Structure 1
């Protein structure tokens, strides 16, 4: 692929995801950590997330490597993101096995009324403060059980969420090309056995960036898909050349992408613009409303319901479909809000004077198929030539823990039985 195109894709990667301020690109290493004797005998798992890699992209754009590897291993018809189908919530669900309402990362941007603080994914101070994140990430589970881990830019991996950072990690930035990331993973796997990570999490933003800026059905997005496909091919070849035994690959994404109707956006109901009564949080594919006076919730809901258009639904949080796990009973951190306005795809809510992107995500993945994500896996632990049905992304966590021989010692939402069939033993 031409260097100019690769540079373009990096420039257009999801800019709001890049942490603000100057970011040091130097690797951070936690000293005095070693694999236990038992951990040194365990398999390796490289868990790769390609942001915004829709469930059908591998076939739609005829990827050479991903189709080959998944045909030899395991592929799901689709993976169902947790609701809302947004980047930070779903990366944290994949890495903790918890729904967003249970781990607390309910959106890319939100307010915590107990802490009286805003969380913004673009704020490095937030992103690296583990107190915002519930659950035990896979790297934390590994480290606590004597297994060294490493992470390249996965959401939350530069924080002390769960009490333990990976042994090797980087603060988030988008200065490394996919090929450079591949080389860093290989360098980790070249370390001596006692220092070599057995769990590695790796993140690529390019496909999401092109989907947002150009839309999912464009040459730019196709090029981004092939850019990552080439990197996966390079990674797999270089790993095989190392001659390590039992290296397994899990390729996932956080959500899909759809072209939205940005030219005819929905107006936010005028009554909600009263800042004395309401706080509103608009991700454009979901509008959350916090009613400051609890006594006004029912009347506000009734008025919104009576005046809504056919292009969106209005829900009390306790009346949201239970399968979304995003209602009152699930809101452990009281961050969601009492009233939710859900636009019907491809409609979005947009404040006057604001702009939007061509492609977006965040809709209910059970209703909007374009929101569905990807799950592919290959390696010695996985069965061959297996296609499985759709499943919820919270179930990836117990699968990876099982391969690594890690004991899950805290409650999670995911169940091993959902994906147990993909393993050889």
Structure 2
């Protein structure tokens, strides 16, 4: 009953902004990118996702997983997948952030007004904006970032995010868009599932509840493929995740109070990554207390973060960044209750095996049985641009890095 009441609302909210013209060289097939939040790369080895595993075996997959950008958290990485830029460059530097040019404002995932404001996104150009500007039609089903009119452009079809919409309902909405007449059908579509990340946080990466959601997500992918086949729609499919998941517990907590007077710091975000600014006049005190390696914690000045993390130049990044050891979290004794820390978390070093993300590609454009090594999330957007026949803005990824994924040209 709830779902029947919800669908008319969704239909009314499916904002449509038709492109003025179709690109001169439109792709032969639609490109569909499926984002599965929190799908750790080695989940694929559990035998619970036969559909995705078969696509990986028959098509292309990232051997050992795809390296996410750092910090390995949701909004920064989903925007990296769409823009081909590291968070340091596209501006979504964390799930919680502030901007010196936007005093009094804080971007958080729960603040709908901020999430839907283009000011946070305009430093990057997501693939749907590139496609729309080229005259292609696009559809985004809840992809992080797609709710804002980035650089003044929206997808042809989009929906404001509503977490309560079931996974299968999201599939059906996308299939509805793909069933439109050819002259209205999207040529690029994205689909986003958040249920696996939620299960990973609540129960941990190895819990039976998380495994059950893995099965559900795989069934949703199968339903999409079956729906496309029933409609005689051949598509190139790219399946990605933003990061993995690591087990955490209240026994693995670092307290900043043990190292620095908490009144000397203004913390923007806690967790596996802590971002903070010293209180004015106490900079030397805070730096002396925090910088360097501590048990289960490493802190840097923003300009001295290791180069391999590609992070530290954006003005939205606070003065000091601390990274917890994988499986640990960081807080203060006043606000952090160890008894409430359980399940899973991410944000850790993007070289950690637990943080590696999923990459699978399948369709006529792709080779068969291809394993890509050293796959990086910044390489996804150039790959999508190649599939769509677009010239995308230069970013941190390279189309050549995924050239081995493509099918050999037909003689």
Question: Does the alignment reach a TM-score above 0.5?
Answer: yes
2:218 aligns to what? Answer: 229
Is the contact made by 1:262 and 1:358 (CA closer than 8 Å) also made in structure 2?
no
Which of 162, 170, 181 does residue 151 from structure 2 map onto? 162
Q: What root-mean-square deviation, in Å, do the aligned CA atoms of Structure 1 and Structure 2 show? A: 2.1
Instruction: Give the C-alpha shift of residue 38 in structure 1.
Output: 2.8
**1:313 pairs with 2:301:** no
Deviations 1:186-225, CA, capped at 9 Å, x for gaps: 1111111221101001100111011000000011010111
Instruction: Give the C-alpha shift of residue 362 in structure 1.
Output: 0.2
**1:346 pairs with 2:327:** yes
2:266 aligns to what? Answer: 279
Inter-CA distance 156–41: structure 2 relative to 1 (3 Å threshold): closer
Q: Tell me the distance in 2 between the aligned counterparts of 1:83 and 1:32.
A: 35
Q: Which moved more, 1:335-344 or 1:83-92?
A: 335-344
State the TM-score, normalized to the length of structure 2: 0.91
**1:360 pairs with 2:349:** no
Q: Tell me the distance in 2 between the aligned counterparts of 1:382 and 1:346.
A: 36
2:395 aligns to what? Answer: 412
Instruction: Give the C-alpha shift of residue 183 in structure 1.
Output: 1.3
Q: Specify the SS of the correspondent of 1:88.
A: helix
Inter-CA distance 39–152: structure 2 relative to 1 (3 Å threshold): farther
State the TM-score, normalized to the length of structure 1: 0.88
**1:49 pairs with 2:35:** yes
1:422 aligns to what? Answer: 405
Inter-CA distance 220–274: structure 2 relative to 1 (3 Å threshold): closer
**1:94 pairs with 2:77:** no
Is the contact made by 1:95 and 1:137 (CA closer than 8 Å) also made in structure 2?
yes
Is the contact made by 1:40 and 1:193 (CA closer than 8 Å) also made in structure 2?
no
1:4 aligns to what? Answer: none
Q: Tell me the distance in 1 between the aligned counterparts of 2:27 and 2:365.
A: 14
1:253 aligns to what? Answer: 241
Deviations 1:217-257, CA, capped at 9 Å, x for gaps: 01101011110000111111111222134x11000000000
Q: Tell me the distance in 2 between the aligned counterparts of 1:381 and 1:160.
A: 30
| Equivalent pairs, count | 394
1:14 aligns to what? Answer: none
1:21-420 matches, within 5 Å, as: 25=10, 26-33=12-19, 36=22, 38=24, 40-77=26-63, 78-116=65-103, 117-133=105-121, 134-245=123-234, 247-269=235-257, 274-275=262-263, 277-293=264-280, 296-305=282-291, 309-327=294-312, 330-331=313-314, 334-352=315-333, 353-354=335-336, 355-366=340-351, 368-408=352-392, 410-420=393-403
